[in-house]
């Protein structure tokens, strides 16, 4: 399974984006969540049914094991229409240009989901580094 993960550390003012392969048990995802000390996961809401629902169930199990709160958002919150402009507001333009030049298929929507999270722009000093 291909997994896309974007994270924000408000203390260090860092945004990270990564895409990786994972097995059926999602061990790599679990390790990443533990290493990051994640407290909340923002994901596309599960409409139920099909193979996607099975994947979502596995992800929910991983989140429960890691004691991470799941916040489900509508799929439009992961739209990529203005992602480059949104990234430029949070990071210096040179790094956002570098990001957009090597993005992967999953990275753009997960980053958009992060950008649309409540509170990400709550202050003018919320300028971050992009890893």
HEC profile for the chain?
Answer: CEEEEEEEECCCCEEEEEEEECCCCCHHHHHHHHHHCCCEEEEECCCCCHHHHHHHHHHHHHHHHCCCEEEEECHHHHCCCCHHHHHHHHCCHHHHHHHHHCCCCCHHHHHHHHHCCCCCCCCCCCCCEEC
Give this prediction's pTM: 0.71
Structural domains for the chain: 2-130 (3.30.420.110)
What is the mean predicted confidence (pLDDT) over 49-66? 87
pLDDT at 96: 46
pLDDT at 123: 47
The answer on pLDDT for 73 being more than 90 is no
Kindly indicate the confidence band of residue 126, based on its pLDDT and cuts at 50, 70 and 90.
very low
pLDDT digit string (tens) for 10-34?
777 777 888 899 999 999 999 999 9
pLDDT at 7: 85
Question: Which of 43-52, 85-94, 113-122 is predicted most confidently?
Answer: 43-52
Average pLDDT, the chain: 75
């Amino acid at each position: 399974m291909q997994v896309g993960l974007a994270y924000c550390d408000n203390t260090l003012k860092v945004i990270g984006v990564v895409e990786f392969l994972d097995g059926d048990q999602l061990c790599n995802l679990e390790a990443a969540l533990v290493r990051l000390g994640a407290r909340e996961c923002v994901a596309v809401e599960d409409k139920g049914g099909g193979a996607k629902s099975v994947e979502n169930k596995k992800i929910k199990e991983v989140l429960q094991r890691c004691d991470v709160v799941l916040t489900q958002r509508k799929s439009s919150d992961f739209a990529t229409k203005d992602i480059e402009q949104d990234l430029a507001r949070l990071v210096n333009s040179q790094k956002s240009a570098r990001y957009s030049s090597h993005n992967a298929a999953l990275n753009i929507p997960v980053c958009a989901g992060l950008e649309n999270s409540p509170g990400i722009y709550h202050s003018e000093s919320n300028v971050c580094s992009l890893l």
